[in-house]
Structure 1
Amino acid sequence: INSLKEILYSDFEVFILDDNSTDGTYEKAVKLTENDKQFKILQGKDLPAGWVGKNFACSQLVESADGDYFLFIDADVILSPYAVEKAFGNLAALNLDALSVFPSQKMKTFGEFLIVPLMQWFLLSFLPLNFVRFFKSSAFTAANGQFMLFHKEAYFKIGGHEKVKNCVVEDMELAKNIKKSGMKFAVFTGGSDISCRMFSGFSDSLQGFSKNFYAGFNKKTTAFFIFHIFVQLTTTAFTILSFAVSNYFLLVPQIVNRIAISAITKQNIFYNILLHPLQMLMFIVVGVNSFIQFKTKKNRWKERELNSI
């Protein structure tokens, strides 16, 4: 909320929805925004059957907004004063109908450093961001629900969050729907303008990524495990081989990869190189945990069940 108050963009209003939280969120939001007419605090309705909580919350926010653009951000995202202006600049300059940003991830604990960097490593290693804009196929899609900006017309053309109401990985589905409708979509990294501390500690990080990982493959088990095998063959196998034959030049591509992606995403280069073997192990752990949770119907987030979705 404090970062939103510093935004150097005049013509906007902010709607904050308290989705039946139990930690005093509504009262805190009201106190922080009192006497500020740009902010409106809403209390969420009870979750209807067939909806994922976040999707229903975003749908309620849209009902209250009447602007020409909809910008959805998570409550833990921090924006620089120029973040919104730059996002609109990219939207206009590239003639986009929608865009998404992967915030720079802030980490404090060892457990977070083991898991959180995997998201952007996974994305940037296997799907260059420019491919999302240049290729019309929805197969070349990446998106992050922490920051998504839509033209109002584009949002309603694809049916908004109601169209993906039962999707756990709703950001990807929204982006795919934009591309399937023949509209233009692009994705960016947050740099120093958009940041977020997604999780607090190891267990939070493990559960946070597990709830989305298997679902991100549309729950296609064969594709999910083939991808995992491919990742390990191109990373862990080369690491083991380099030590087995004492040819450490085999490690150079992975080191260069980690340096480049860490620099692009504003992450600690030294930590990511040092922890890379453990991070690849955690890649397996998160994947297996995600698969088991979905198959045993024990997928939860913030004490809310996702199994019926």
Structure 2
Amino acid sequence: MTAVLALVVAVAALTAHTWVNATRWLRRPDAGPVEVTEPVAVLLPLRDEADRVEPCLRALLAQRGVPGLRIVVLDDGSTDGTADVVRAVAGDDPRLTLLTGVAPPPGWLGKPHACWQLATRTDPGATVLAFVDADVVLTPYAVAAAVTELRAARAALLSPYPRILVRGVADRLVQPLLQWLWLTFLPLRAMERSPRPSLAAAGGQFLVVDRAGYLRAGGHAAVADKVLEDIELARAVKRSGGRIALADGAELAACRMYESWPQLRDGYTKSLWAAFGHPVAAAAVVTVLLLLYTAPPLVAVGLAPTAPLVSMVALIAYLLGVAGRVVSARATGGRAWPDALAHPVSVVVLGWLTLRSYHLRKRRRLTWRGRPVS
């Protein structure tokens, strides 16, 4: 009974932390209408995105409230006609420039190199750089709202986390963990105030940076070989003396990250080893997550016939974990019901993906978009 009560206390504390983060400390930019006067460059790296880049491009071209907007697109060695799609959508719009990327040199991974090319080849007069991924669709005032929030936070880097679109079972099990993890385990107020690089989070789908602060941190050149270049860039900003901030971007952007289970599986596999670091640390974190969120329903069911009181306490721990997922979903525009009820299964899938990530990395078999990542 003592161990189960300890689980209840621990899960209750974490769920309370999720609620405090979501209701008090999570920034929520005004979705508009809002206007900024400083010049902004939106930077879009593309590699084989012909089948899904059009909605992203049309949303960028429809941005309002940014009179000094420039859109710079980099075709990073695509072989599927991505550049042709960009030209067809952009037409003769003078705000959009299409660049042809060069292959990354030794020591560089593909995305950091593409982002660095964009940052160094865009209009030097732009005081803010907004990096956007091809699977992100922005609302009309998203860029203006994000820049406004960047300045209000007095930050060098703002990560307005998009609303993650989910469709299939795998999506609904895994994708909500992205927001849940940082809302549950990351103290948002301390992250903004503390200079410690270890207290950092960011999502590369939509990332807005003060150009001077970005360059002072070394830009993407400082994270050239990092799989999680977004988080590492946030850490580099902190090391250079800049502030970072997270925001709920559900009203600014929507993102459908993966179209299928194989894509989702391989996407997480390529990066989870980098998220956790040393295998021992990963094992410890996954074990704690399994104990806190997967063990309670198993105990509740297994001990119901013989120890109903212990079973009831374990059920409370499970329901508290579900409550944390509900809070996270509602705070970030996600789907709460009935998906949150499967939270223990989500944690198991995360554990398996983590194990797979370390296994394939050890055998040097991790790739993404045809390029090795480790």
Query: What is the CA-CA distance between 1:236 and the residue it aligns to?
Result: 0.8
Matches within 5 A, 1:122-271: 122-217=181-276, 219-243=277-301, 244=303, 245-247=310-312, 248-271=315-338
Residue 304 (str. 1) matches residue 371 (str. 2):
yes
Q: Is the 8 A contact 2:193 2:243 kept in 1?
A: no
SS of structure 1 residue aligned to 2:184: helix
Per the normalisation by structure 2, the TM-score is 0.79
Q: Distance in 2 between matches of 1:127 and 1:146?
A: 19
Corresponding position of 2:176: 117
Could you tell me which runs of 5 or more consecutive residues in structure 1 were left unpaired when the two chains were aligned. Answer: none
Query: What is the CA-CA distance between 1:137 and the residue it aligns to?
Result: 1.5
Q: Is the 8 A contact 1:129 1:188 kept in 2?
A: no
**Code of the aligned partner of 1:237:** A
SS of structure 1 residue aligned to 2:167: coil
Query: What is the CA-CA distance between 1:114 and the residue it aligns to?
Result: 2.2
After superposition, the C-alpha distances for 1:158-210 in whole angstroms (9 at most, x for unaligned) are 11111111111111111011112221111112122111000011111111111
Per the normalisation by structure 1, the TM-score is 0.95
**Code of the aligned partner of 1:197:** R
Greater than 6 Å deviation, 4+ residue runs? none
Across the aligned residues of Structure 1 and Structure 2, the Cα RMSD in angstroms comes to 1.4
Q: Which of 1 and 2 has greater Rg?
A: 2
Corresponding position of 1:24: 81
Corresponding position of 2:340: 273
Residue 2 (str. 1) matches residue 58 (str. 2):
yes
Q: Is the 8 A contact 1:115 1:206 kept in 2?
A: no
Corresponding position of 1:58: 115
After superposition, the C-alpha distances for 1:216-248 in whole angstroms (9 at most, x for unaligned) are 23x311111111111111111222223334313
Q: Distance in 2 between matches of 1:235 and 1:131?
A: 25
Q: Distance in 2 between matches of 1:189 and 1:211?
A: 25
Could you tell me which runs of 5 or more consecutive residues in structure 2 were left unpaired when the two chains were aligned. Answer: 1-56, 304-309
**Code of the aligned partner of 1:222:** V
Query: What is the CA-CA distance between 1:133 and the residue it aligns to?
Result: 0.9
**Count of aligned pairs:** 306
Residue 35 (str. 1) matches residue 92 (str. 2):
yes
Query: What is the CA-CA distance between 1:62 and the residue it aligns to?
Result: 1.3
Query: What is the CA-CA distance between 1:275 and the residue it aligns to?
Result: 2.5
SS of structure 2 residue aligned to 1:163: helix
